[in-house]
């Protein structure tokens, strides 16, 4: 069944620039393989006659935009958002590890997974790369909920066999067997993908990292996710534990954990050799500005990343991050980009920010042309935005005289209230 929507449409050209249609038509329907995809997007006048059989829903005043892509988030940390600590390591010890130990209980994991997916949907996030915990049942719980919504979601069992308390520490051999079983059970089923997930180098033995790298070579279409160069204390600890590696990032390379589809959160305290290594391995960064500001970790160096040329996209990093809303993350990224500016200027443009949380994030995940855009062939994951969702939004967006002004107003003033509807694989999602 085809379906068409008449509204403004925001999408992205291959070079990352935004394309905006004031009076657009988005036509969705099954492709040859039966997947719900975008069949056409463009000016209403040009397209309406080409799809006479598609029923048209008119959405006056609304904007259709790609579903957001969150490149790094922890579903088990939903309940510890906003837990303050001096920095990363005390935060992990005081709040994170004790809380994550609760996910050995499958009923608890299922309850949090349900809430988490609802919250992503309410915020317009339709694709996420998320950490689970070290308990295999936490992975089953999340995949089951995502599958129920036919959502594109990637997750994996956390590997952490040392420097971790009872309750979250796993055992080397068993952890690798569990990882392989979960890959076979879930990777490529419907829209689900598996990510091999060493928590970060300090909490894995060399044997565990080596085993993770072997699995990454054996299953090249899986993702890899971890953390790197987030916090100065963490970096000093990693250097002490792995004195033979050139840098903290190089530890992962030394164990075969840098390749395409490898996604490292933070990547703040890098030198140019680290940046060149990211580029050479086609490994990407999940930039997590609300988390970095909240935990006092530092500022992602956008200029450095662009100078050397490695890929990146945006991420919430809940619960170190402070919001599920991509609008809040984009605003924090704007602040961070400004901080790094050595010359006066606008820092990141709103079109760049939006791209980094949609088509750019999809490209970084190896999912360009699959999600994160509304070009023909993309899967039909999108949001319906109401630029008049609050009195101030209505007033400000009415006065926007360019696309940049409109997008900036949405980023600065928007949150979950802006997202009127989230559509996943062509299906409007019930909202909690
Ligand atoms: N490094 C290792 N584990 C974590 C985590 O859960 N959150 C963040 N922000 N950094 C980490
Ligand atoms: Zn994280």
Q: Which of 364, 387, 410 is the last residue of a domain?
A: 364
Q: In what order do the strands lie in the sheet with 3-12?
A: 36-43, 18-30, 3-12, 56-66, 382-385, 419-424, 427-428
Q: What is the DSSP string of 249-317?
A: HHHHHHTT--STTEEEEE--S--HHHHHHHHHHT-EEEE-HHHHHHTT-----HHHHHHHT--EEE---
- For residue 324, the CA-to-ligand 1 centroid distance in Å is 16
Same domain, 175 and 60: no
DSSP state for residue 321 in the 8-state scheme: B
Three-class DSSP category at 393:
helix
Distance of CA 198 from the midpoint of ligand 1 (Å):
11
- Asked whether 204 lines ligand 1 (CB < 6 A), one says no
SS3 347: coil
Q: Where are the beta strands (DSSP E) in 132-188?
A: 152-156, 158-159
Among protein residues, the one with the nearest Cα to ligand 1's atom 7 is 320
Q: Which atom of ligand 1 is nearest to the CA of 319?
A: 7
Average pLDDT, the chain: 97
Q: In this structure, which ligand is nearest to the CA of 129?
A: 2
What's 288's domain CATH number?
3.20.20.140
**In a shared domain, residues 63 and 103:** no
Q: Are residues 323 and 389 in the same domain?
A: no
Per-residue pLDDT tens for 150-202?
Answer: 999 999 999 999 999 999 999 999 999 999 999 999 999 999 999 999 999 99
Whether residue 21 sits in one domain with residue 113: no
Does ligand 1 come within 6 angstroms of the Cβ of 230?
yes
The average pLDDT across 137-147 equals: 98
* Ligand 2 geometric centre to CA of 10 (Å): 29
Substitution candidate for ligand 1 out of 82, 252, 265, 322 with most atoms within 8 A of CB: 265
Environment class of 128 (CB within 10 Å of its CB; exposed 0-12, middle 13-18, buried 19+)? buried
Q: Whose CA is nearest to atom 9 of ligand 1?
A: 320
For residue 324, list its beta bridge partners. none
The pocket of ion ligand 2, defined by CB under 5 A, consists of 265, 317
Half-sphere exposure of 139 (CA within 13 A, CB side): 29
Q: Whose CA is nearest to atom 3 of ligand 1?
A: 199
Does position 363 have pLDDT exceeding 80, yes or no?
Answer: yes
Rounded Cα gap, residues 116 and 122, in angstroms? 10
Domain that holds residue 100: 68-364
CA of residue 289 relative to chain centroid, distance: 12
Question: At 45, which CATH number?
Answer: 2.30.40.10
Atom of ligand 1 nearest to the CA of 200: 2
Region of residue 377 (left: phi > 0; alpha: psi -120 to 50; beta: else): left
195 vs 181: CA distance, rounded Å:
13
Q: Report d(CA 342, CA 320) in Å as an integer.
A: 28
Give the pLDDT score at 406: 98
- Domain identity same for 323 and 406: no
pLDDT of residue 431: 77
Ligand 1 near 159 CB (within 6 A): no
Q: Are 358 and 19 in contact (CB under 8 A)?
A: no
One domain, residues 329 and 223: yes
The set of residues, in sequence order, having a beta carbon less than 8 Å from that of 357 and lying 6+ positions away, is 68, 69, 70, 313, 314, 326, 329, 330
Cis peptide upstream of residue 319 (ω within 30 degrees of 0): yes
Whether ligand 1 lies within 6 angstroms of the CB of 268 is answered as no
| Domain shared by 322 and 343, yes or no | yes
Max Cα-Cα span within the chain: 66
Beta bridge partners of 379: 37
Tell me: do 135 and 235 sit in the same domain: yes
Going by pLDDT thresholds of 50, 70 and 90, the confidence category of residue 344 is low
**For the chain, percent of residues with pLDDT exceeding 70:** 99
Say if ligand 1 is within 6 A of residue 88 CB. Answer: yes
Question: Do 49 and 159 belong together in one domain?
Answer: no
187 C-alpha vs ligand 1 centroid, how far in Å?
Answer: 24
| Spatial separation of the C-alpha atoms in residues 289 and 313, rounded to whole Å | 11
pLDDT digits (tens, 9 = 90+) for 71-97: 999 999 999 999 999 999 999 999 999
Looking at the structure, tell me whether residues 273 and 136 fall in a common domain.
yes
User: Does residue 340 register a pLDDT over 80?
Assistant: no
Domain boundary residue, one of 364, 381, 415: 364
Give the angle 345-346-352 at the CA atoms, nearest 5°: 135
Q: 44 and 133 in one domain?
A: no
Q: What per-residue confidence (pLDDT) applies to 354? A: 98
- Categorize the per-residue pLDDT at 360 as very low, low, confident or very high, splitting at 50, 70 and 90: very high
108 and 205 co-located in one domain: yes
Q: Given pLDDT bands bounded at 50, 70 and 90, which one contains residue 338?
A: confident
419: DSSP letter:
E
Instruction: Give 194-241 pLDDT, tens digit per residue.
Output: 999 999 999 999 999 999 999 999 999 999 999 999 999 999 999 999
pLDDT in tens, 286-322: 999 999 999 999 999 999 999 999 999 999 999 999 9
Q: Per-residue pLDDT tens for 381-428?
A: 999 999 999 999 999 999 999 999 999 999 999 999 999 999 999 999
Check pLDDT > 90 for residue 22: yes
Dihedral of the CA atoms 174, 175, 178, 182 (nearest 10)?
-170
> Could you give the number of structural domains in the chain?
2
Last residue of a domain, one of 318, 333, 364: 364
**Residue 44 confidence (pLDDT):** 98
């Amino acid at each position: 069944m085809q379906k068409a929507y008449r509204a403004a449409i925001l999408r992205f050209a291959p070079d990352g620039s935004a394309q905006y249609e004031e009076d657009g038509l988005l036509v969705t329907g099954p492709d040859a393989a039966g997947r719900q995809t975008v069949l056409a997007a463009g000016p209403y006048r040009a397209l309406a006659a080409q799809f006479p059989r598609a029923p048209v829903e008119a959405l006056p005043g609304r904007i259709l935009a790609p579903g957001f892509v969150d490149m790094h988030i922890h579903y088990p940390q939903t309940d510890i958002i906003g837990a303050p600590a001096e920095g990363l390591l005390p935060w992990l010890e005081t709040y994170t590890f004790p809380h994550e130990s609760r996910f050995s209980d499958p009923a608890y994991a299922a309850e949090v997974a349900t809430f988490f997916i609802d919250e992503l949907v309410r915020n317009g996030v339709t694709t996420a790369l998320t950490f689970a915990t070290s308990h295999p049942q936490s992975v089953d719980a999340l995949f089951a909920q995502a599958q129920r919504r036919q959502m594109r979601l990637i997750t994996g069992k956390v590997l952490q066999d040392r420097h971790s308390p009872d309750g979250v520490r796993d055992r080397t051999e068993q952890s690798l067997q569990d990882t392989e079983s979960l890959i076979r059970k879930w990777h490529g089923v419907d829209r689900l993908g598996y990510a091999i997930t060493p928590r970060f180098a300090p909490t894995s033995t060399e044997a565990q990292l080596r085993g993770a790298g072997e699995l990454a070579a054996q299953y090249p279409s899986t993702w890899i996710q971890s953390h790197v160069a987030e916090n100065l204390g963490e970096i000093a600890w990693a250097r002490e534990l792995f004195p033979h590696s050139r840098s903290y990032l190089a530890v992962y390379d030394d164990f075969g954990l840098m390749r395409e589809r490898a996604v490292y959160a933070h990547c703040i305290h890098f030198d140019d050799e680290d940046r060149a290594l990211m580029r050479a391995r086609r490994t990407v960064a999940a930039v997590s500005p609300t988390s970095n500001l909240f935990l006092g970790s530092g500022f992602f160096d956008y200029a450095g990343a662009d100078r050397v040329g490695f890929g990146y996209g945006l991420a919430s990093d809940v619960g170190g991050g402070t919001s599920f809303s991509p609008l809040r993350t984009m605003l924090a990224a704007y602040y961070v980009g400004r901080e790094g500016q050595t010359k006066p200027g606008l820092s990141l443009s709103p079109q760049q920010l939006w791209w980094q949380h949609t088509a750019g994030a999809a490209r970084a995940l190896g999912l360009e042309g699959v999600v994160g855009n509304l070009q023909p062939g993309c899967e039909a994951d999108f949001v319906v935005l109401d630029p008049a969702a609050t009195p101030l939004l209505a007033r400000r967006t009415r006065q926007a005289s360019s696309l940049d002004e409109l997008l900036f107003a949405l980023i600065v003033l928007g949150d979950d209230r802006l997202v009127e509807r989230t559509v996943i694989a062509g299906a409007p999602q019930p909202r909690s």
